[in-house]
Structures are given as structure tokens and as C-alpha cells.
Amino acid sequence: MRRLVRSFAVLIAVLALGGCDALIARFILPSEGIRPAEYAVAIERNVTMTTSDAVALVADIHRPKMNGAAPTILVRIPFSRTFRNSLSADAVGRFWASRGYIVVVQGTRGRFKSGGAFYPLRHERQDGIELQWLARQPWFDGRLGMWGGSAFGHTQWALADQSRPGPTALMIQIASTSFREMFHPGGAFSLESALFWAARSGGPADVDPSSTALERGLEGFPVIEADDRAVGNVPFFDDWLVHDLADPYWRAIDGEDRARNIKAPVLLMGGWYDPFLPTQIRDFQTIRREAAPRVALDTRLINMNA
């Protein structure tokens, strides 16, 4: 009991000192084998970039207090702006910025602080390409890294074939170049994965769906009405279901030959029981066989048990 009280007191003290992101970093970010932080960090909030169709994409920029330009890490967040997500984003930004990187944490269209209507995966390529504004920033030194998994991973694959500017290094976790095959493995529809995503993100903000709502959607026919039974109609769920072939809908999302045409080395991280694993392994094999030699040589794949 004393230990619990002491831990609670430490938590209250950290919160009172405004160190919420430091507390999160302590528990969710790596520490073993990591070089120590070297710089104080300044954060510029609500930096807005307007897309060609007049949507405001908003970012927080975390900068180390140092002279001159530095490498940039871009993280595009496909989640709502909640207290927890904001703390996590700041923790990630501070973690890298304190080690000499400039970190741009930007909401994808319709999420975090960005405007526009949210539709998973659809706008990531064009919105990402329009991030050429990075190259015009005085603090950008030409080196760009990206980070994240799942939908974060898609934001990276969407830009993997870009240059001037384009990624210099990528770290893609539990995501591949084929979301279509994740949703339709072997020709069957991945109902549980699609329904959970639709129930969680089908509204204006992310919510955690109840098990009762999910069961209501899963236990019934027709399958295309699973979202209606669970939470109401979610258009992107219907699109994922009816587009089971590699048609123009999926080519706009997954692209073509992105693994072959990747311009930067990538650290791929997968899980032995993750639905992306088969296509992630295929991406790795394609990169090692067919990508530019310097990219192929420095690309790695790590698979971890869940």
C-alpha cells in the first residue's frame, strides 16, 4: 500500500510539473541502448499547411535548441486529438528532438488537429506529396525520416517512391504495400479487422467500440450491413468489402510497385501473428531483389512474437 501511495504521489508531482510526456516516455519509449538526450526542446504549435484543395493540415514541430539545420522526422497521425494522444505525440516528439532531430507531428486529413473529412488511406499520397513545404523550411537539412505502424505505416509507403524531397529512411511497423490483401486474405473478407476499424473511426472522432456493438455487427447477415448493425453506416467499410479485387479503388491507395520503387532504406517490423505479415515479407523480398542496390542492402526485416 505504501508503494502504491508513493507511486501515486510521484505521478501527481510529475503532472503538476507539466511533465506528462516525460512520464509517458519513461514507460512506452525505449531506454536500453539509447544515447542520452542532449538538447532542450522547443515546440511550435499549430503550424498549418494548406493543401491544393484548401484543406488545412496542422502540425506541432518539436525542435532541439541548437544552431543550424538538422535531420527531420515526419510522423503523420491518423487519430483523433485526445488528451492521451496529445501526450503520446509530445512524448515521441520530445524523445527525438532532445537527441538532435526536428520532429514534425502532423494530423492526417480529418484527424488530430487537421481539417477535412476523414477517410482512411485515401488521401495520404497526395497530402504527403504536398509536404514539399518541408524543403523550403530553413531548418530542413535535406534528410527526412518517417516512423509509425499500421495506418502510420501507410503514410510512409504512400511516399516511399518520392524524392526531392522524399524519405531518407523509413521505419514501417505492421503495415505493407497491400492493404487490400490484408482486408481480403486468400479472397476472404477480414470482417473483424474491418469492422473494428469502422466502428472505432467511422464517426467524426475515434471512439472505443463496445464488445456488444462489435458482436451485434459480427453476428448476422448480410455482411455489408455489419457496420449498420454495430454503429451505423460507415461508407469506407462498405468500400473495403465490395472492392475485393486489385481495382482502381485499391490502386489509388496501395499504388503499384512501391516496394520495387522505394527510394530509401526501410526497417520493417512485423509480428508472427499479424495480418500484414505475408505481404510484409513479400515487400522485403521485393526490395532485396529489385530495389536500387543501396536501398536493398540497408533494408531490414524484424519479426517479433506478439
Question: Tens digits of per-residue pLDDT, 225-241?
Answer: 999 999 999 999 999 99
Q: Which three cell numbers stand for residue 302?
A: 524484424
Burial of 119 (0-12, 13-18, 19+ CB in 10 A): middle
Question: Looking at the predicted structure, is the pLDDT value of residue 269 above 60?
Answer: yes
**CATH number of the structural domain 2-173:** 3.40.50.1820
Mean pLDDT estimate for the chain: 90
Predicted pLDDT of residue 302:
95
Q: Which three cell numbers stand for residue 281?
A: 515479407
The CB-side HSE value for 162 (13 A sphere, CA atoms) comes to 26
| pLDDT band at 12; cut points 50, 70, 90 | very low
> Cα separation of 170 and 157, whole Å?
9
Question: Tens digits of per-residue pLDDT, 148-165?
Answer: 999 999 999 999 999 878
Question: Looking at the predicted structure, is the pLDDT value of residue 194 above 70?
Answer: yes
CB-based contacts of 81: which residues, under 8 Å, 6+ apart? 107, 111, 112, 113
Question: Looking at the predicted structure, is the pLDDT value of residue 28 above 70?
Answer: no
Question: Looking at the predicted structure, is the pLDDT value of residue 297 above 80?
Answer: yes
Q: pTM for the full model?
A: 0.88
Question: Tens digits of per-residue pLDDT, 46-65?
Answer: 999 999 999 999 999 999 99
Domain assignments of the chain as residue spans, ordered by start:
2-173, 190-243
